[in-house]
Amino acid sequence: MKNVFFALAFMLVGTFAFANNVNEVSLSNNENATEIVNSLELVSNYDSSIIIDDFELFGTCYVTIGFYDSDGNKVAERTLQFNNVDSAQECSDIADAVGEALENL
């Protein structure tokens, strides 16, 4: 008899847990889906260069380097990425340091 009560109690708890899970999943999916869609639309409306320069938003600094031959022809271009950059000034300082480092490439 004791076992029967345990079995019934276990089934009752299991039923509640299952119902709760279903509710949570449903609610979560709707909200997240809306947020993700909004986020994608926002990003796609941005010009890519704006995203690249927006280091404050992402903490990333991008430095574009142009390489020129002795006749002034642009022969190559490279974009470098630096992470964990805190400010525009730091990004500017990095660009200056890159210029100095590549002087004797």
Partner 1 sequence: MKYIFFFLFPFITFSQEKVILISYKAVYNTELPTTKNGFLYVSNNQKKTIYFTEKISKNKDDEDQEVDVTVRLNSGENQYNYFDYEKDTLFTKDDIFRESKIIKEKIPRLKWTLLEESKTIEDVTLNKATCYFRGRNYIAWYSTSTAIKSGPWKFQGLPGLIYQIYDETKRYNWFLQYVKVANYDFNSENLNFKNKETISIKEYANLKFNNNDELDSKILTKLPRGATIVNQKTFRTGFEIKFEWEEDLKED
For CA atoms 88, 91, 93, 99, the dihedral sign is negative
Who contacts 78 (Cβ-Cβ below 8 Å, separation ≥6)? 64, 65, 67
Long-range contacts of 72-79 (CB under 8 A, 24+ apart): 79/52
Q: Work out how close the CB of 39 gets to partner 1 at its nearest, in angstroms, rounded to a whole number.
A: 22
Min dist CB 97 to partner 1, Å, is 8
In whole angstroms, the minimum distance from the beta carbon of 101 to partner 1 comes to 4
What is the spatial distance between Cα 67 and Cα 80, in angstroms, rounded to a whole number?
13
Q: Which is nearer to partner 1, 7 or 97 (CB)?
A: 97
C-beta closer to partner 1: residue 42 or 66: 66
Contact positions vs partner 1 (CB under 8 A): 62-83, 95, 97-99, 101-105
Cβ distance to partner 1 smaller for residue 2 or 74: 74
